[in-house]
């Protein structure tokens, strides 16, 4: 029997989740909590392998509670359930140590599947979440100092290096002079330089002009 504790402020939802899990067989609900303080108490006495945790209860942020539970009960695996669609919170919860994330609008049958998967030591993610995870992996990583500059910043650099005045640069880039001076300040900061002359030298050395 997989021992599960439920934490959700909505009693009807707790009943619904409990019935869903119990009906699926092999799962028993050993404790229920309607708030985070209650959860703390419940976890002191109830045997718990998997915690089904609502992310958005009144009071403390659910992510904080997640961290607190991981700290006090490291063996407990947590399945986060939330009214918010996966794209809003799932990855953040997984990063914070949750073993799975379920959207309450999803299929109730997924609940039991998720609890079993998590209990077996694996993560449970919906196809939506796994697609997001894959997308996050695709980030480029080559770096020279100025490859971290935006197109506009680079143009500003090149124009300063060709001796143009800030006001002319602003006109050419169709920006206000104030914005161009923010770009200039950022260039100096990013490239660790201190004036226009050094910007020019940098641009020449890197064959930008």
Whole-angstrom distance, CA of residue 48 vs CA of residue 62: 18
Provide the minimum distance between the beta carbon of 32 and another protein in the complex, in angstroms, as a whole number.
14
| 101 interacts with another protein by CB under 8 A | no
If binding means CB under 8 A, how many residues of this protein chain bind another protein?
44
Supply φ then ψ for residue 84, to 5 degrees. Answer: -90, 140
Applying CB under 8 A, which part among 64-72, 87-95, 114-122, 158-166 lies near another protein? 87-95
- From residue 178, how far is each of 60, 169, 170, 174, 181 by CA, in Å? 42, 11, 8, 12, 5
Q: What is the CA radius of gyration of the chain?
A: 27
Angle between helices 166-173 and 151-161 (to 10 degrees): 140
- From residue 195, how far is each of 4, 37, 145, 184, 188 by CA, in Å? 63, 57, 17, 9, 7
Provide the minimum distance between the beta carbon of 128 and another protein in the complex, in angstroms, as a whole number.
11
Site string (19-48) toward another protein, x via CB under 8 A: xx--x-------------------------
Site string (64-83) toward another protein, x via CB under 8 A: -------------------x
**What DSSP designation does 33 have?**
E
Element (H, E) at 5: strand 2-7
Indicate which single residue of 184, 199, 200, 203 sits in contact with another protein (rule: CB under 8 A). Answer: 184
Indicate which single residue of 104, 115, 124, 203 sits in contact with another protein (rule: CB under 8 A). Answer: 104
Could you list the residues that contact another protein (CB under 8 A)? 9-10, 12-13, 15-17, 19-20, 23, 56, 83-85, 87-89, 92, 103-105, 108-109, 135, 148, 150-153, 173-176, 178-179, 182-190
């Amino acid at each position: 029997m997989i021992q599960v504790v439920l934490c959700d402020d909505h009693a009807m939802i707790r009943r619904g989740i409990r019935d869903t899990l119990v009906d699926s067989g092999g799962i028993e609900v050993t404790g229920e909590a309607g708030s985070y303080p209650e959860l703390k108490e419940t976890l002191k006495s109830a045997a718990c392998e998997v915690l089904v945790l609502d992310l958005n209860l009144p009071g403390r942020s659910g992510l904080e509670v997640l961290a607190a539970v991981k700290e006090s009960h490291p063996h407990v695996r947590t399945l986060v359930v939330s009214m918010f669609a996966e794209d809003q919170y799932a990855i953040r919860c997984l990063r914070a140590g949750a073993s799975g994330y379920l959207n309450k609008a999803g299929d109730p049958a997924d609940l039991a599947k998720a609890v079993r998967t998590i209990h077996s030591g694996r993560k449970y993610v919906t196809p939506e979440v796994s697609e997001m995870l894959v997308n996050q992996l695709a980030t480029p990583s080559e770096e020279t100092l100025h490859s971290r500059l935006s197109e506009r910043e680079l143009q500003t650099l090149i124009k300063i290096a060709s001796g143009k005045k800030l006001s002319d640069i602003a006109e050419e880039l169709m920006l206000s002079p104030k914005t161009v001076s923010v770009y200039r300040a950022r260039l100096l900061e990013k490239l660790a330089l201190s004036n226009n002359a050094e910007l020019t030298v940098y641009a020449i050395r890197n064959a930008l002009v």
